[in-house]
Amino acid sequence: MSIRQQSYLVWPHTACPPALQTAVGTPRPALTLDTLDVARCAWGEILQTAPRSTALATFFDDLLASGPDLVWRGTGPGLGKEMRRAFSGMFGRFFARAYLSLFHDFSWFHPIDGDHVFLSPRWMITRYPGAKRDMPDWICARPGALALGEAKGSHQASGAVAGGRPGPIKTAIEQIRGTLILRGTPNPSGPMTWTPRSVKGWAVMSRWGIEHGPRSPYLYAYDPSTEGEELTPEETDDLVQAVAQSHIFLTARGLGLLKSDQEGVITPASRRRVRLAGDDDAKRGFLGAIITPFGLLDLDLDRAKALAALLPNPDLVRFVGLDEQMFNAHLRHQPLQPLHRQVIGDLTMVGSDGLVVAPIEQIGDITEVPTEG
């Protein structure tokens, strides 16, 4: 993995996160991203939205041109407009999620799908009456804060400051402003009463740099205003936990840690516990599966190492899993708190949501966890 740089623009300037401010409080002209961070966020996105899909998240460096900048090889991934648009949209989500995670400290992401999304019996996300755009990609959460997030990937040739806001950002703003967060209140004499609440919005666009063009990369972040009453502190905590519980549920389901019976009842599945060599917390365990170029496979450590030895790049076989205590807290419906982001060795990263991606040689041992666990 590698560190890559791109230009950075944010509006309004007061919305710039502290980590990207200069000594005088203005936004820095550039930001850097570790592709290891992006790959971990990409796996989180894939597990939640396309469970058991292939290990595309491990190929970032193979698609990037040499050098310090975030520039794709050739004219970028994909041949033809449709394929290029598909890669652009997907990678746009990965990089936006990494930006919101690393620089705005969002730990939990719930992907928005459809016109009505219930996060819990008390919280619903829906389209604003008359809105014509799709809803944004996520509702994001961290302790004390929430945001609607929309990601855009773009191959547009014009620069970021020529003519004001880029077209994809304008579309993203419409999507965010066309979405309602509704708080439900029981009504003894009739249906639930739903009241709109306001949360922050983030529109994040990656304009791709390409080797043959050439064209330089930049990330444009915009913080639009949204409508509705401000959340009370109690409502904020309640909605944050609803997003956090959904985030862990979707991730665990993608990892195969949860199963459903014929009646649709969700229960824990048999799973593997892994300890990581070099982890300062020697007692910590992670629950998950082995990533390969063929997707997630149910392999023990010996077979995983044997498969890695057969591949030109052994790093394509990795472990992906969740912090065991985080998963168990979810099963017990206990409040979830983010972890401190941690790097172990050169290629292992534990995110604040407890998701870890580790090379196979860093796995200390694998033990079976009974289904009842």
The verdict on 237 and 287 lying in the same domain is: no
Q: What is the largest CA-CA distance in the chain?
A: 67
DSSP codes of every residue in 251-294: HHHHTT-EEE-TT--EEEPPEEEEEETT-S-TT--EEEEEEETT
The verdict on 284 and 146 lying in the same domain is: no
Peptide bond into 12 cis (omega under 30): yes
- Domain final position from 252, 267, 299: 252
| Residue type at position 299 | L
d(CA 292, CA 5): 28
| Residue type at position 101 | S
Domain around 314 = 255-369
Q: Is the pTM for the entire model greater than 0.85? A: yes
Say if CB 74 and CB 210 are below 8 A apart.
yes
Residue 241 backbone dihedrals phi, psi, to 5 degrees: -70, -35
d(CA 188, CA 110): 30
Which pLDDT belongs to residue 303? 87
The verdict on 124 and 137 lying in the same domain is: yes
The verdict on 280 and 248 lying in the same domain is: no
Which pLDDT belongs to residue 280? 81
The verdict on 168 and 303 lying in the same domain is: no
- Domain final position from 219, 252, 285: 252
Which pLDDT belongs to residue 360? 85
Would you give per-residue pLDDT tens digits along the chain (373 residues)? 689 999 999 999 999 999 999 999 999 999 999 988 998 999 899 899 886 565 555 566 778 888 888 888 888 887 888 888 888 888 999 999 999 999 999 999 999 998 889 999 999 999 988 888 899 999 999 999 999 999 999 887 765 555 578 889 999 999 999 999 999 998 888 888 999 998 999 999 999 988 887 788 999 999 987 777 899 999 999 999 999 999 999 999 998 899 887 777 788 887 778 888 888 887 889 998 888 877 777 788 888 889 988 988 887 888 899 999 999 999 999 999 999 999 888 778 899 999 999 888 888 766 766 654 4
Which pLDDT belongs to residue 270? 73
Residue identified by tokens 């205003």 is 225
The verdict on 47 and 93 lying in the same domain is: yes
d(CA 319, CA 154): 32
Which pLDDT belongs to residue 103? 97
For residues 234-265, b (16+ Cβ closer than 10 Å) or e, as one string? ebbebbbbbbbbbbbbbbbbbbbbbeeeeeee
3-class DSSP state for residue 169? helix
Total Cβ atoms within 10 A of residue 233:
8
The verdict on 209 and 287 lying in the same domain is: no
Beta strands in 89-178 (DSSP E): 108-111, 116-120, 123-127, 138-142, 145-154
- Domain final position from 229, 252, 275: 252
277: its two tokens: 């060599």
> Which bin fits 110, alpha (ψ -120 to 50), beta or left (φ > 0)?
beta
The verdict on 259 and 322 lying in the same domain is: yes
Structure letter (DSSP) for residue 243: H
> Which residues are bridge partners to 206 per DSSP?
153, 219
